[in-house]
Structure 1
Amino acid sequence: MMEGMVVLGLLVFVLAVSIAEDTTCSVSLSPLCYKTSTQPQEDFFCEWKDDDTSQIATYTLFIRPPTSIDNEKFEAGNLLHKHLPLESLISLSPVKIWVQRQADTEICTSPKIFVTLINSVKYNAIHIKTITRSAGTVTVSWPRADSKGADHEIRWKKINASWQNETFVTEDSVKEEEKLDSYTLHVETHSVYKVELRRRAKHSILWSEWSPAKYVPLEIQQPVVHWTEDKHEGQRRIKLSWNVPPPESSYGGVSYNLTLEQPCKKKTTKTTTNTSYEIFITFSEARVSVIAINNVGNSPSQEYIIPPVEHLKYCHNTLESQTKPHCLEWYELIDGETRPPNVNFSTSSTLEYIKKDMKKFVRYYYFVHTGRNKHRRTVHMCPIYSAEGGKFHTKLSLLHLWYLQSERNQHNCKDFVCVCVCVCVCACVSAPVARPPNVTVLNETHNSAVVSWRSIPVQDQRGFLQDYVIWVSKEGHEEPAFHEVPANQTSFILRNLDAGSYYTVHIAGRTHTGAGPNCTANFFTTHYGLAKRDTAILIVCAVVLLISVAISAVITRLKNKLLPVIPSPVISPTPSYHPNNQDTSVVSEEVHQVILLDQKHSHGPNREQSTLLQDCDLQACKEEDEEIEEHFTDLHPAGKSGVFPNLISKGETLRLSMSMLTIEKHQRETNDEVGMLSYRNGLFFENRGLENETTSL
């Protein structure tokens, strides 16, 4: 009886366990076991998922070989993964794998799967290293998982568009240095893309996870850099800023590499995502380059030079001691003013030591910097010469002054001895070797004038220029006036001059070793009264007035010659007379004096021609008389003898009747072959008479 009860209890327990195992399990998927490379000595890794996270559960991983009834059990605790040593597994044959979940008294198992572990390889997700873009192509590169080739899938899309994908296979590595795989896509030139990758080992069914999505923006351009400068206690705070790139180049983010190079310091590189940056530099030159970086590459590199502070012309204080630690920077000034590309610097040399290698009579410039990093500052800066004087300083200076005096007296020294002295002086002392250029005299008055010039180039000064010396001599006087002008001035007013005199000016630059060659200029002072400028203005005005009068006369003469005045008499209309409205008032007769001039012909016409003309004229006159009679019958009474018509003044109508156009026969006979000229109030009348011909007006 007792044994029956024990058997019944075991059956109930087995049934309960079997019912619990058959219930739905929150571990709904089989565990996934794999290794991350194709290397044979690598261990395996199993992972699974639990949909129920409301209660604490423990997990056990079971692996059963196909030819065994015993399960290999691996406790995972409350973790969802388990590391499996290679030695405890059979990887060449298929095995059955599942996970058992236990929460309190509830036990369930995941689905069971068969897998051959040797072929179960799952690579880690790809990390895209570089993306390059050029001329419609995008090349993506990533590190290999191992030396073996693999199957790959790539997908890409435009922004807000659908995915496109391709699969490809990479081959095994031939060389050990080949550590990157790459693939090239053909894309549109001006579009922004997004790209992802995944891979799996050959003969494996497990794909890796997709790589993090990478944007493929347009190529980025070199940023334009600006800066502002703020000086303070031997150092400068430089604030750099540059433009923000366009959105098409900014997808995926943009960073900037800033490289700073300055004397006495190593080249440093900083990275920032901002569009501004502050640096602290000394008073000497610094060089900065800013490179923009996006997902497809770097912008071109361009170096920006932050120039040094303005070079001093003179050193007002000398360096007595150098603080340590320090950095001494020095260089030869190109053309006496410009910093060269390469400079010298040392952290241990002294000023006296570096003078040994300097060229004589050549200007150098030096800085002394102290401190480190942001605290580095400039404590001293100055122009310097290694030597300004010669061995025979005093004697040669006197000799040089004697040469200048002889040049002033002779204006042009061409004597052999004088030339030898000049060459010797210029070679042995550091006086300037050039004249002040562009010497001019302006604003001359009767007692003053302004002399101006340009500074002597630094490379020709051969030392620190102390001042300019000016000699002013009047024609006919041997003793010149002497003036000294500070070296930073380029003009001088000459006063107390004599009016209407001729002067000569000599100007030379002078260092502490002596004066250099001089430049000469001549000028006249004006007489008392009008100044030279006022006199010139009056002369110009007089010349302009004379030219204007001459041009006016020429224009008037040409106008009269080319466009003469032509008289145009005005003839008023003839009033209409009618018998019904004829004016019966007494008409006053206006008599004008007529001058008749005789015009004699040297030869008269022959009788035959005269007869023909007379007949023609008589016939024409008869026809004309008939027409006139029709129009003017009412103007003259019938039977009245004809008379010459009155010649009316300018502006009135000539009224002619039939009787006025006929001439008596005896008058024609006496006036035969006579031509008459008449003038009346500026009008010209010509009267020609032939035998038996009616006179015409």
Structure 2
Amino acid sequence: MRTPLHFLLMVSYLSFTLALDLPLKPKNLQCVALQEGRKVSPKLTCHWDPGKKHPHPATSYTLYAHYREETFSVVSYEPLASNLTLDLGTFPIYMKMKVWVEVKNEQWSVNSTELCTNAESFVKTNPPSNVTLIPEPNVSTSLIVNWNNTIQKGPLKLRFNIRYCHAGSSVWTEVPQNYTKMYVESYRLQFLQPYTDYVVQMRCINQKNIGFWSDWSPNATVRTPEAQPESMPDLWRVYDENNETLVKLIWKDPVKSNGKILVYDITVEGNGKDPERYSLNSKEQQLHIKGEQIFIKLTANNSVGISPMAALVIPRHGKELRVGVENVSWWVRDEQLCLDWFQPSRSLFEFLLEWVSDPDGKRDWQRVSAQATTSSYSVCLKDLSPFTRYRISVYPIYQDGMMFHLPGKQVSVEAYLQQAPPLRGPSVEASATQKNSVHLKWEEIPVASQRGFLTHYTIFYKSGDNEQFVVVGSNFHSYKLTKLASGSRYEVHIMASNMEGSVNGSVYSFYTRTYDNDEITMMVVLVCLGFLFFLIIISTISLKKRELIQKQFFPPIPNPSHSTIAKWSPDKTTRVNTPKEDMLPDVSMVEVDMFDGTSLFEEDKTELPRKKDTSFSQDVSEDGGIGGSSCKSSPRQSMSDSDEGDSCQTTASTVQYSSVVASGYKGQTPSLQAPVFTRSESTQPLLDSEEHPEHLLEGSGHRRSTYFRRGRGLQQLHMQAGESNYICLNFSPTMEKENTPTSMEAPPTFHYMPQ
């Protein structure tokens, strides 16, 4: 027994089965017949949307076209077929046609919505051919457009559409369609700009405005003829910062030059002379301002005529100018750099915006007309480069008289169209390194590498694993790090940051000192003070013990000037008791050859043994002998002895000098006065020649020594008086040299005089 539930289940199953087998209905059916040659092609191509459901494997798509009593069809078994082309044999232009698509499988079939319309609605022709532009002589604002129709005129009438634009522009201007609704093949474009390149395109459609527009024709380009310039040149000036009298004029071509500018005429007035005139082909000229200001007039000439005149007043650089604009600010909108400002006065003619890129120095400017109804202005600049710093200046332009324009004070700002992280960081160097501090220096990053406004620098420094950092402003280019460890190695680098990011600079290494300069100075001062104190102590001890030190290192040397012999005068004689005249033997002076020692008298040689015995056997008392000296055993020999004799020596290693004074003096007639011995108080040591007579023998030259020879009678006389039995007479070689006569033929008799 079937219940209502069974019935519902059966209906649901049938609906589900039907949904699985029923194909989707094609949508958006469109058909087009293209032009073939000069006629409409008989092939009709149709497109539709088959849907996204995958059909049954046995599904077919059939395109049908029916006009008059005939039906044309074409079938496709491809899954999800979306287009088919149907051949009609001959295209029925004036007939109605019905077109549809049938989708069919083994069980079901579905038809699309039928297209029932005139056959002309399916036609799409080719665009006009041979489109040409012809400039009209002496007419600089119009062009003639000619073209050819590509389809037969009889069966199908067309209408045309024309559009044009400046070369390089994407903004098109279309000619109203009612101007070309008739079947024509020529048209005049009017109200064009002179000496301007124009691009023209055309298309066509059924005159009844049914069917499809053709594609646009290829570009046709031509330039309109020249005309007289309609606007003045854009004149401006640039001051030389290093020379207040030098200024450079710069200018642009007139916006409506209407032709190629061939020459620029400049007139300069106000330099205290007649007006100066220049004809130039360039767009700049340097001038000297000889007075307070100069007046410039500029015109541009082409092949047709002369432009209106541009006039500018240029004061000397540094002269007080009229008030400038107020509250200049900048911001970015729609990838354009915009500026806002307030005008200072209502009597302004216009504003001039000048921008210079840093660091390449490219300059450009733009003029903005002043309005009497507003006090605030906003202007956006175009064609600026990203990541480039611009210095933008706003000048108010005042009207000076009827034609001249006078710039006011400039107000400048620096701006970026777009910023980015810096390209590189700064390079740092260390100087004035101390024990616990160091002075860091770095150069500013070039503007081209900053790519934005720097906000700050971050100094990172570390020793080992201990890393620290310090943040300083972007205006800092040096910094002193403190609280560093002494005698340590540090690594430091600086990170530069702007609003868009940061970048690190190169790493620099340095060592801190073990001692500061002050400490080293203090140590040197202490050492110097200690050495000074030591010198003072040594000097004090030396002063107190100077006699002991002098005796130790510098034994006293007698001064011959203090000797009693220094008081002797050749004119003064000393009276002494002398022996009898007949007892005085002759004293002769003998020259001994020191080189060979062989010139001693034979008489002296025979007496040498006897003298040696007596000289070494007795001591002379202090009051006896010559000067109180004693003849003791010594390895030295007297000059008057033989080579084997010993010399006399005092006990204190010194000798008391004695002089033998004769009664006459160098050539005087000797008297009969007996010779006497005079004692000297000098204790001068023996000379080296007396201490070591052997050195004289070793010398390289023939030296002669003079000594006094004493007779036997004189020796016996002194021995009887209790004097020493032998007397040593020592003489300085220098004294011997001075006192020895050059010739000794008859030596006079000498006497001993007191000193």
Smaller-chain TM-score bracket? 0.3 to 0.5
Flag the structure with larger Rg: 2
Of Structure 1 and Structure 2, which has the larger fraction of its residues in strand?
Answer: 2
Q: Structure 1 length as normaliser, TM-score?
A: 0.33
- Structure having the larger proportion of residues in helix: 1
